[in-house]
């Protein structure tokens, strides 16, 4: 069977157009060369622009609603019993590699979310994503791929799936891990891209996302917490220069006749403020608690909700996911339809 060109995708999690196309363009000659010799542009993410659904939607051509995946944690079902963490089996729709596999073509995937636990069967080779627990004994398909990764990196636990507690680990620790994660992932990528007969290759690196989460305020003068002259002001320059060299060493190994794609799943920007929308829902009468909450913020799972009088609530992330309590779907969807059309304490 005559196949088209092979395709190699390098996924830079959270790589942001304003950085790579503008501010840091001179720091990333490899990416700039791809832009000059190929084509590029802003890529619309999904709503919500969150890692797991964004990659899953990109690779299946579905929306978060069609996949039922809106983030890292999702409602388990139509009950109110909290959230479950997304896993490799959460995606029920066929992805690019499934379609290729059905046509006898094999894929080599490294770190493409969601990919933990490893699949029971796969048309090719697959290494787990950032959802893989550290020190996991089973993180790749086929399992003997793990021995090869460990040999390449000089031991078990050298491969970094994600930086545990990256927000609280301390800036220096996180920064060090960001560099090591990228270095080791690309090293594994260079080895496998050469010795596996792939038709489709894809490597995703979550390191830029972790870097942006922790260091945006230090780098971006527009951030409300920015302090000029802080010691982390140059970390984006340093990291992207380093990443670009890693990228160059991987791209060098991609066959001439293959199509190379560098893409991200969403961007980043300073957080200028927030809205406590459960408070607003309470104030407007859409969310009714059994008893009022005093003092500071309380996790939603710790408040007692009067579900029979609640029309809507928010839970599951910092990006404002709102759920409707629907009669006939949720266990205690409001019996009186008036609750869904307007709050009882709505102000004029």
Nearer to Zn ion, 57 or 105 (CB): 57
Q: Which residues contact 33 (CB under 8 A, 6 or more apart)?
A: none
Query: Counting contacts by CB under 5 A, is residue 310 touching Zn ion?
Result: no
The least distance separating Zn ion from the CB of residue 252, rounded to whole angstroms, comes to: 26
Number of residues that bind Zn ion (CB under 5 A): 5
Q: Where are the beta strands (DSSP E) in 73-122?
A: 73-75, 83-85, 107-110
Q: How far is the CB of 333 from Zn ion (least distance, A)?
A: 33
Q: Where are the beta strands (DSSP E) in 172-276?
A: 200-205, 259-263
Which CB atom, from 15 or from 153, has the smaller least distance to Zn ion? 15
Residue 265 binds Zn ion, judged by CB under 5 A: yes
**Rounded Cα gap, residues 211 and 241, in angstroms:** 14
- Alpha-carbon 330 to chain mean position: 28
Smallest gap from residue 61 Cβ to Zn ion (A): 18
| Sole window of 73-81, 145-153, 265-273, 316-324 interacting with Zn ion (rule: CB under 5 A) | 265-273
Considering beta carbons, is residue 72 or 141 the nearer one to Zn ion? 72
Q: Which stretch binds Zn ion (CB under 5 A): 90-98, 139-147, 222-230, 263-271?
A: 263-271
What does DSSP assign to residue 323?
A: E
Q: Which is nearer to Zn ion, 204 or 288 (CB)?
A: 204
Supply the DSSP string of 18-45, one letter for each residue.
IIIIIITGGG-HHHHHHHHHS-------
Residues 40-59 that bind Zn ion (CB under 5 A): 51
Q: CA separation (Å) from 212 to 44, 55, 215?
A: 19, 18, 5
Smallest distance, Å, CB 268 to Zn ion? 9
- Residue placing its CB nearer to Zn ion in the complex, 55 or 122: 55
Structure tokens at 218: 């230090």
| DSSP single-letter state for residue 93 | S
Least Å from the CB of residue 143 to Zn ion: 27
Site string for Zn ion, 176-215 (x = CB under 5 A): ---------------------------------x------
Q: Which of 90, 82, 101 is nearest to 62 (CA)?
A: 90
- Locus of tokens 């104030």: 283
Q: How far is the CB of 243 from Zn ion (least distance, A)?
A: 15
- 244 counts as binding Zn ion under rule CB under 5 A: no
Determine, following the binding rule CB under 5 A, whether residue 162 of this chain makes contact with Zn ion.
no
* ∠ Cα 47 50 54 (to 5°): 75
User: In this complex, which beta carbon is closest to Zn ion, that of residue 268 or of residue 311?
Assistant: 268
Q: Tell me the residue nearest to Zn ion as measured from the CB.
A: 51
Cβ burial, residue 21 (10 Å; 0-12/13-18/19+): middle
Q: Does 16 bind Zn ion (CB under 5 A)?
A: no
Instruction: Name the residue with tokens 């990291």.
Output: 239
Measured from the CB atom, the residue of 27 and 265 that comes closer to Zn ion is 265
Q: Which residue has the tokens 């501010």?
A: 23
CA distance 107 to 123: 6
CB of 249 vs Zn ion, minimal distance in Å: 23
13 binds Zn ion, rule: CB under 5 A: yes
Contacts with Zn ion by CB under 5 A lie at 13-14, 51, 209, 265
């Amino acid at each position: 069977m005559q196949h088209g060109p092979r395709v190699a995708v390098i996924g830079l999690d959270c790589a942001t157009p304003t950085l790579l196309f503008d501010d840091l363009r001179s720091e990333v000659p490899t990416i700039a060369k791809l832009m000059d010799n190929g084509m590029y542009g802003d890529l619309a993410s999904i709503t919500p622009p969150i890692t797991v659904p964004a990659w899953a939607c990109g690779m299946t051509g579905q929306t978060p609603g069609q996949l039922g995946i809106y983030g890292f944690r999702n409602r388990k079902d139509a009950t109110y019993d909290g959230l479950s963490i997304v896993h490799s089996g959460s995606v029920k729709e066929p992805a690019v590699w499934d379609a290729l596999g059905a046509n006898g073509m094999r894929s080599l995937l490294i770190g493409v979310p969601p990919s933990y636990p490893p699949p029971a069967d796969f048309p090719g080779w697959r290494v787990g994503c950032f959802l893989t627990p550290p020190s996991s004994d089973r993180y790749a398909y086929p399992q003997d791929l793990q021995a090869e990764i460990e040999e390449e990196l000089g031991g078990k636990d050298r491969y970094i799936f994600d930086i545990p507690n990256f927000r609280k680990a301390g800036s220096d620790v996180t920064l060090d891990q960001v560099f090591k994660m990228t270095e080791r992932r690309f090293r594994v990528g260079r080895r496998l891209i050469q010795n596996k007969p792939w038709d489709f290759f894809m490597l995703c690196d979550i390191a830029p996302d972790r870097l942006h989460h922790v260091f945006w305020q230090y780098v971006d003068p527009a951030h409300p917490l920015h302090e000029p002259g802080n010691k982390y002001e140059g970390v984006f320059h340093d990291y992207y220069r380093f990443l670009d060299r890693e990228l160059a060493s991987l791209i060098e190994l991609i066959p001439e006749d293959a199509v190379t794609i560098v893409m991200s799943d969403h961007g980043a920007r300073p957080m200028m403020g927030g809205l406590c929308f459960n408070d607003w829902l309470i104030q407007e009468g859409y969310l009714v608690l059994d008893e009022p909450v005093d003092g500071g913020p309380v996790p939603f799972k710790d408040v007692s909700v009067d579900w029979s009088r609640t029309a809507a609530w928010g839970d599951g992330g910092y990006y404002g996911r709102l759920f409707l309590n629907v009669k006939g779907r949720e266990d205690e969807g409001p019996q009186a339809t008036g609750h869904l059309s307007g709050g009882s304490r709505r102000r004029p």
